[in-house]
């Protein structure tokens, strides 16, 4: 694994000459932020050594290197999900590579179902913590001290300073419908039954989705600071559970994306 990470990192350094400290991972229906990046280079995952290829609709699968609001960033358009069939080492491979090329801060977005009864569709939830319910752990197996400690601390998986900065931005720009909460990471690909939404609420979740948790675990293992936002695309609130489809998730995500984009654009300037 170390060799594979190094090969991919060396390749990216040779094409990008990477100077970015900020990595961005764009979630389902949230690729539009990429249009705000003044791209210097774009590279499809298929051209990067050892990179997996993203299969899900709504993810085009490339790395974008360029400036967001004048700040050098490296963005992943399209991520790897456990439900696609990848093991967790593969799901999180790109995060290892980002760390290897010098990324210190990771910003992530996702679409999620809301269990908190105060939430409305289209709301943004700044993730302040997570519950990992994936059936495979990305750090399971031999630990390489070069990559991080055997037993990583997770007391502040989502960096408190970055969250504070984001709420400053929300206040300054009077961005409506932004809250914070706990993200439950689950394997999918089914959306939840009403009983599962209820269960996730009871155990302390505000929103549920099928990504982000593996990437954040690996990023924290490597010592990177993480910030993540969920767009609430459907509700798993008791009495309000309706049918949900991938298309609806994408539509709802796209509608709220400009607000999320504004937070990311301002945040990169303040990191
Ligand atoms: N559950 C899981 N993942 C999701 C949901 C949901 O309700 N909405 C968007 N992604």
DSSP string across 12-54: HHHHH-----EEEEE-TT-GGGGGGEEEEEEEEGGGSTT----
- Cis ω on the peptide bond leading into residue 189 (within 30° of 0)? yes
- Mean pLDDT for all residues in the chain: 92
What pLDDT was estimated at residue 60? 61
Whole-angstrom Cα distance, residue 70 to residue 170? 20
- Select from 244, 247, 248 the residue to mutate for testing ligand 1; criterion: most ligand atoms less than 8 Å from CB: 244
- Select from 28, 79, 112, 235 the residue to mutate for testing ligand 1; criterion: most ligand atoms less than 8 Å from CB: 112
| Residue of 183, 199, 214 whose CA lies nearest to 119 | 183
Query: Which residue intervals of 93-187 are DSSP H helices?
Result: 93-100, 160-172
pLDDT band with cut points at 50, 70 and 90 for residue 211:
very high
249 lines ligand 1 (CB under 6 A): yes
Q: Residue 210 pLDDT > 90, yes or no?
A: yes
What pLDDT was estimated at residue 200? 97
Which atom of ligand 1 is least distant from the CA of 253?
Answer: 9
111 lines ligand 1 (CB under 6 A): yes
Whole-angstrom Cα distance, residue 222 to residue 5? 13
| Residue of 211, 226, 231, 230 whose CA lies nearest to 160 | 226
Whole-angstrom Cα distance, residue 105 to residue 166? 14
Which strand (E) or helix (H) includes residue 195?
A: helix 194-202
Question: What digits encode the pLDDT tens for the residues 125-146?
Answer: 999 999 999 999 999 999 999 9
Which residues are paired to 129 by β-bridges?
Answer: 182
Which atom of ligand 1 is least distant from the CA of 192?
Answer: 1
Query: In this predicted structure, which of 35-44, 95-104, 195-204, 225-234 has the lowest mean pLDDT?
Result: 35-44
Instruction: Please give the distance, rounded to the nearest whole angstrom, from the Cα atom of residue 161 to the centre of ligand 1.
Output: 27
Query: In this predicted structure, which of 91-95, 236-240, 255-259 has the lowest mean pLDDT?
Result: 236-240
Q: What is the mean pLDDT of residues 116-120?
A: 95
Q: Residue 58 pLDDT > 60, yes or no?
A: no
Helices (H) then strands (E): counts for the chain: 7, 9
What pLDDT was estimated at residue 161? 98
């Amino acid at each position: 694994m170390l060799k594979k990470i190094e090969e991919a990192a060396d390749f990216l350094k040779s094409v990008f000459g990477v100077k970015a400290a900020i990595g961005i991972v764009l979630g389902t229906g949230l690729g539009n932020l990429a249009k705000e990046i003044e791209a210097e280079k774009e590279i499809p995952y298929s051209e990067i050594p050892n990179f997996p290829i993203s299969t899900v609709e709504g993810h085009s699968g490339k790395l974008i290197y360029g400036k967001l609001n004048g700040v050098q960033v490296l963005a992943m358009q399209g991520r790897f999900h456990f439900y696609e069939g990848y093991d967790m080492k593969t799901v999180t491979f790109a995060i290892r590579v980002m760390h290897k090329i010098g990324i210190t801060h990771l910003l992530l977005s996702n679409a999620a179902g809301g269990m908190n009864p105060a939430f409305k569709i289209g709301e943004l939830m700044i993730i302040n913590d997570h519950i990992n319910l994936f059936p495979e752990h990305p750090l399971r197996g031999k630990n390489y001290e070069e990559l991080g400690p055997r037993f990583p601390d997770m007391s502040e998986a989502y960096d408190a300073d970055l969250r504070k900065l984001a709420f400053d931005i929300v206040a300054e720009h009077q961005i409506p419908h932004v809250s914070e909460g706990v993200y439950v990471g689950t394997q999918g690909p089914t959306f939840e039954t009403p009983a599962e939404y209820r269960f996730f609420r009871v155990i302390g979740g505000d929103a549920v989705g099928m990504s982000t948790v593996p990437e954040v675990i690996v990023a924290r293992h490597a010592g990177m600071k993480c910030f993540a936002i969920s767009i609430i695309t459907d509700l798993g609130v008791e009495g309000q559970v309706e049918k949900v489809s991938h298309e609806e998730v994408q539509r709802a995500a796209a509608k709220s994306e400009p607000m999320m984009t504004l937070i990311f654009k301002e945040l990169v300037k303040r990191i």
